[in-house]
Amino acid sequence: MTYPRATLRLQLHHGFTFDDALAQLDYFAALGVSHLYLSPVTTAQPGSMHGYDTVDYGTVSAELGGEGALRRLAAKVHERGMGIVADFVPNHMGVGGSHNAWWLDILEWGRHSAFARHFDVDWHSPDPALRGKVLMPFLGGPYGEELAAGRIELKFDPEAARFYAQYGPHVCPICPTDYAALLQSANRADLDTLASAFQGLTTQPEDQARAAAGRDALRAFIERVGTDPLDFVLEAYSSADPVPRDRLHRLLERQHFRLAWWRTATDEINWRRFFDVTSLAGVRVERHDVFEAVHKLIFRLYADGVIDGLRIDHIDGLADPREYCERLRQRLTSLRATPPYIVVEKILAPTEALRDDWAVQGTTGYDFMNDVGALLHDARGAAPLAEAWSAIAGDDRPFGAYALEARGEMLSYYLAAELDHVTRALHRIAREQPATRDTTYASVHRAVASLATHFPIYRIYPVAGMRTTHDKPWFDAALEGARKALPRASLTALELVNAWLGGRSPDAANAPPANHGGGGKSARNAHANAGSHANAPLSHALIAQRTALALFSQLTAPLAAKATEDTACYRYGRLISRNEVGADPDDFSRSVEQFHAANKLRRQRHPYGLLATATHDHKRGEDVRARLAVLSEIAVDWSSTLRAWSTLNQPQRRGDITSTTGWAPGPGAEAMLYQTLVGVWPPELDPGDEAGVRELAERVAQWQLKALREAKLRTNWLTPDEAYESDCQAFLFDILSPQRRDGFLQALADFVARVAPAGVVNTLLQTVLRLASPGVPDLYQGTELWDFSLVDPDNRRPVDYAARAQALDRAAPATKLANWRDAHVKLATVHRLLELRKQAPELLREGEYLPLTVRGALAEHVIAFARHHGNAWAVVIGTRHAAGLLDGDLPLVAPERWEDTNVELPKALAQASLHDWLSDAAHHTPGNALALRDVLKALPVAVLSTEPRA
C-alpha cells in the first residue's frame, strides 16, 4: 500500500462500529478517499466515545466489534485498493474504574508490581502519606466524609479470589499481604486454614507467586462452599459502624494506594497525567519493555497488513518524541517491506517547524488549518475589531497577555503538582554538589515557574541531556521573559536552572556561566556523541539532567495547551474564528504571499503530511470559521451590530444589570455568544421554526457551558458556579425564544443571510486549497456537507451518510451553486478534486508548487498557484475577501466586476487547453494570462488542468 492521497477521519464508538464503517464503504470509495483514518481501536474505558482512554493495549475494542470486525473491514478496504491509518495513543492510558489490569496491579503490589515502571509514578514522594503509594483522587468528597457515609466499601470478587475497596465505579485491589488478617477476622477455622497460605507474604515477586497459589486455594474453597463465609470478613470491615469502619480505614492506610478527594489531585498527584485529566495516566513508553508491550497489538496488525499507517496522538507528552519516532519507524520497517506511513499530532507555533529528525511524514494538519484560516481573514479588520473588543471587555491587551496570565493561573491552580515534580528533580541536582547545595527548593520553584510561564512553544526536544540549536531561540525567549519578571535575588537560581535544563553538560564545571543561553556547540557535540555512545552507561549527573529536562518538557506542553487553547481562547473574543487549536489569535491574518511560502515549505519538507480544516478536536467547524472570517471584512458594521444586539437583549440579562460585570452572562461572554450564533446558524433555518431554533439553542447551550467553565473567570470545572451558569443558559434561551421572532431572532437571521454567501465563498476556497495544496487532504467525518459544528461533543454527532451518498453524483459543482444552501456544491467540489487526485496522484500531492501573479482591478481578491508534475499541470484560482463584491444571495462575484483582473500563467501553459474540473468548462490560453471574468463566471473557485476528466 502506498502513502495516502486522501484520508477520511472516522470517530468510532459503540454507536458507530467497524461494521457500521463497513456499511458505508461504498460511499467512502465513491467519494474518492484512499484511506480510512480511524480513531483509536484498542480497548478503552467502557462507553468511551473517543477511544483515547485505552485500558488494554493488547486487544481491539469489543465495543467497536473486536479484532474480527476490524479485519473484516480491512479486508474489504484493501479489496478496493484503499488502506487504513489508525490513531494510536502511546502517551497515556485510562485509569480509575475497574478495567485497566496494569493499573490495578500497581494498586495491588505497589512499586514491586510488574507494571510499576510502566507508569510515571513518583514512588518517593516527600509526603510520608504518599511514599510508596499511588494517589487515587477519585472521591466525590473528602475522604473522611465518604468513608463515614459508607461509600467506600470492602468487597470480594469470587472469580478472581480478590479483596478490593470499591468507591462507585472505582476498584482498588487490596494487597495479598493483608489477606491473612482479613481471613482471620471472621473467626472461622476454615478461613483460618486458608489464611495460612498468605501468612508472612511480602510484595516481592517470588511472594506474588505464592499469593497466586493462595488465591487458587481460596477460589477452590469458594467453588465448594460458596461465598457465604467471606461475608463475615466483609462485615468485620463494614463502614456502617464506627469500629469496623476504623478497621477498614486502617486497612486502607496500609495499601499501596491512597484514596482521596478529587480536588487533591491539583496539589498532590504523584503520577503524570494527560494535561490535568486525572482519569488518564502517563505511560513510560520511553522504556523498551513498555514500548514493546504498548505496541504489541499494533505491530501485529501492521505485520498482518490490517493497518497501513499510524497517527500518533499527543506526541509532545512523550519523554523523547524524536527517539520514539525513530524506534517506531524501525520496528514498523522490520515488519513490512513498504515504508510505514506515520503522522504525529503536533501543535506548532507560527514560526516553529516540525523537526526533520523525527522520521515521520508530517503532522495531522493543524498547521495547515491555521494557514488557510488566517488567509481567509482580512488584515484591515484586525484593528477595528480589537478596538470593539477592548470597549466591550474593558481590556485592550493582546491575546498574548491573556495567555501569559492564564499560564500563571494554570501553574498555580491546576498544574501545581506537576510544577512540584520538576522543581524537586532540579533541587535534587542542586543538592548533589557542594557549590549549589544551599540553593533552596523555593528559589528553584520560582525560577521554573517563571520559565514555564514565559515558554513560547509547547516544548523543546533536547538530545543526550542538552538543548540543541533548534531549542535555543525558544528557551532563550523564555529565559529573557523570566529574567524580566523575577526579582534580582532569584536570578542566580534562574541561571542554575538554565544550566541544569540542558544549558551545559552535566559533567562540566559546577558553577554555570553567569548568562548562559544554552544550545550552541556543546549541544551539537552532545547530539553527535549520543549515537557513538548509545550503549555506554549513563552517568548519574546525565541521568538526573535528562530526567529534569523530560519533566520540564512534560510540564510546558500541557501548560501551553491548557492555558492557551482551553483558557485564554475562551476569554479573548476579538474574533473567535482565530481562537482555534493550533492557531494564535494575535496572528490574525496571512497574506497570499505568506500562504504560498508555507505551501512551498510544506512541499519541500513534508509532502505527505495531512492537510486538515476540521478535526475531532476543533473548537468550531470549518464552515463556522469560514463564515466568521467574513466579519473581518465588515469590522465596523459588525461592531455596530454587536452594540445594537447587546442593547436589544439587555432586558434578558440576569443578575445585577446595573453592574458592569456582575450580570450574566457578562459583556465578554455575551459578545462571544453572538459570534457563535452568527457562525452556527444553519442557512436553511427560518426564525419562525420553533423546533429548529430550539434544537440550535440546545447545541449552543452545551457549547456555552463548556466555554464558560474553560474560561475559568466566573465558573470553572473544579468549583462551578451553577447559579451563574443557569443564568447564562436562561439568557441564551430567552434571546432565542419564540417571543423574539420579530426582534432579535429576525435580526440574527437577517445578518446571517447577509454574510452567509461570502462565507460560502470562503468555504469553497478553503476546500479547494486543502485539496490542491501539497500534502494529503484529510476529511473529517461528514464535513463534505456543511460543518456548522462546535467543540466536542457537538463535532462528534452522528453523520447521516445516507443523505451524503444520495447527494453524490457526477455533476459539476458549478451546476449546484444556485442551491448552495443544501451544501451539495461543497460535496461536489470535494468529490471532483478527489477524483483529480486519484487520476493524477503525484500532481497535487507532491508536484511542484508555483505561485502565480495576479494583476488588475481586483487582484487583491484572488489567490492563484500552479501545480506541476511531469507533463501534468493544474492551475488553482480562488476568490477571497468577497463580502464587498457580492450582489444578492449568490456566492459568486458577477463576471463584469472582475474587469481586467487576470492571472499570469507559466510559459509552459501558453497555447494550452485546460479543463476546469469544477465547472467542466474548457479554457484555451492563446497568451499567458487567464481573465477572471471568464474563469470565475460559474464558481468562485476554479481548478484547471491539462488532465481531462477520464
Contact 193, 270 (CB under 8 A): no
Contacts of 802 (CB under 8 A, 6+ apart): none
Residue 525: its pLDDT value, please? 38
Query: Measured at the alpha carbon of residue 625, what is the angle toward residues 623 and 628, in degrees to the nearest 5?
Result: 110
The residue ranges of the chain whose pLDDT is under 50 are: 509-536
Q: Could you give the maximum distance between any two Cα atoms of the chain, in Å?
A: 104
Do 295 and 191 share a structural domain? Answer: no
Query: Measured at the alpha carbon of residue 384, what is the angle toward residues 380 and 390, in degrees to the nearest 5?
Result: 145
Per-residue pLDDT tens over the stretch 532-565: 334 446 688 889 999 999 999 999 999 999 999 9
Contact 892, 404 (CB under 8 A): no
Do 307 and 447 share a structural domain? Answer: no
Per-residue pLDDT tens over the stretch 29-39: 999 999 999 99
Using DSSP's 3-state secondary structure scheme, residue 612 falls into: coil
Contacts of 569 (CB under 8 A, 6+ apart): 576, 579, 580, 585, 619, 710
Give residue 10's region: left, alpha or beta (phi > 0; psi -120 to 50).
beta
Domain boundary among 511, 532, 553: 532
Full DSSP string of 866-917: EEEETTEEEEEEEE-S-TTT--TTSSS--GGGGTT-EEEPPGGGTT-EEEET
Q: Is residue 585 part of a domain?
A: yes
Contacts of 774 (CB under 8 A, 6+ apart): 599, 602, 603, 607, 844, 845, 846, 847, 849
Torsions phi, psi for 198 (to 5 deg): -105, 0
Do 142 and 24 share a structural domain? Answer: no
**434 burial class (0-12, 13-18, 19+ CB within 10 angstroms)?**
exposed
Q: Is residue 926 part of a domain?
A: yes
Q: What is the pTM of this model?
A: 0.94
Q: Is residue 525 part of a domain?
A: yes
Kindly provide the b/e burial profile for residues 330-351, where b requires at least 16 CB atoms within 10 angstroms of the residue's own CB.
ebbeeeeeeebbbbbbbbebbe
Query: Radius of gyration of the chain from Cα atoms?
Result: 30
Do 326 and 250 share a structural domain? Answer: no
Q: How far apart are CA 507 and CA 161, in angstroms?
A: 52
Residue 533: its pLDDT value, please? 38
Bridge-based pairing state of the strands 929-931 and 941-945: unpaired
Torsions phi, psi for 783 (to 5 deg): -80, 5
Do 603 and 690 share a structural domain? Answer: yes
Do 359 and 428 share a structural domain? Answer: no
Contact 650, 775 (CB under 8 A): no
Q: Is residue 912 part of a domain?
A: yes
**Cis amide leading into 176 (omega within 30):** no
Q: Is residue 507 part of a domain?
A: yes
The CATH code of the domain that includes 225 is: 3.30.1590.10
Torsions phi, psi for 3 (to 5 deg): -65, 155
Bridge-based pairing state of the strands 848-851 and 92-94: unpaired
Write out the residue range of the structural domain in which residue 728 sits. Answer: 372-397+576-753
Give residue 504's region: left, alpha or beta (phi > 0; psi -120 to 50).
beta
Q: Is residue 786 part of a domain?
A: no
Domain count, the chain: 5
Full DSSP string of 456-472: -SS----BTTB--TTTH
Q: How far apart are CA 106 and CA 109, in angstroms?
A: 5
- Cell numbers standing for residue 756: 452567509
Do 378 and 230 share a structural domain? Answer: no
Do 291 and 429 share a structural domain? Answer: no
Residue 451: its pLDDT value, please? 98
Domain boundary among 753, 770, 796: 753
Query: Measured at the alpha carbon of residue 283, what is the angle toward residues 542 and 155, in degrees to the nearest 5?
Result: 130
Do 257 and 132 share a structural domain? Answer: yes
Residue 507: its pLDDT value, please? 66
Q: Which amino acid is at 156?
A: F
Q: How far apart are CA 404 and CA 418, in angstroms?
A: 18
Q: How far apart are CA 741 and CA 845, in angstroms?
A: 49
Kindly provide the b/e burial profile for residues 816-826, where b requires at least 16 CB atoms within 10 angstroms of the residue's own CB.
bbeebeebbbb
Residue 919 to residues 532, 814, 828: CA-CA distances in angstroms?
59, 5, 10
Contact 522, 505 (CB under 8 A): yes
Domain boundary among 505, 532, 559: 532
- Cell numbers standing for residue 477: 525567549
Kindly provide the b/e burial profile for residues 17-28, where b requires at least 16 CB atoms within 10 angstroms of the residue's own CB.
bbebbbebbebb
Nearest to 277 by CA among 548, 41, 566, 553: 566
Q: Is residue 566 part of a domain?
A: no
Nearest to 236 by CA among 226, 246, 227, 221: 246
The CATH code of the domain that includes 301 is: 3.20.20.80
Total Cβ atoms within 10 A of residue 812: 21
Contact 428, 597 (CB under 8 A): no
Contact 382, 632 (CB under 8 A): yes
Q: Is residue 36 part of a domain?
A: yes
Using DSSP's 3-state secondary structure scheme, residue 14 falls into: coil
Residue 211 to residues 107, 157, 163, 810: CA-CA distances in angstroms?
15, 15, 12, 68
**Cis amide leading into 456 (omega within 30):** no
Q: How far apart are CA 675 and CA 276, in angstroms?
A: 29
Contact 385, 642 (CB under 8 A): no
Do 316 and 171 share a structural domain? Answer: no
Total Cβ atoms within 10 A of residue 442: 12
Residue 911: its pLDDT value, please? 87
Per-residue pLDDT tens over the stretch 769-828: 999 999 999 999 999 999 999 999 999 999 999 999 999 999 999 999 999 999 999 999
Do 623 and 522 share a structural domain? Answer: no
Do 256 and 117 share a structural domain? Answer: yes
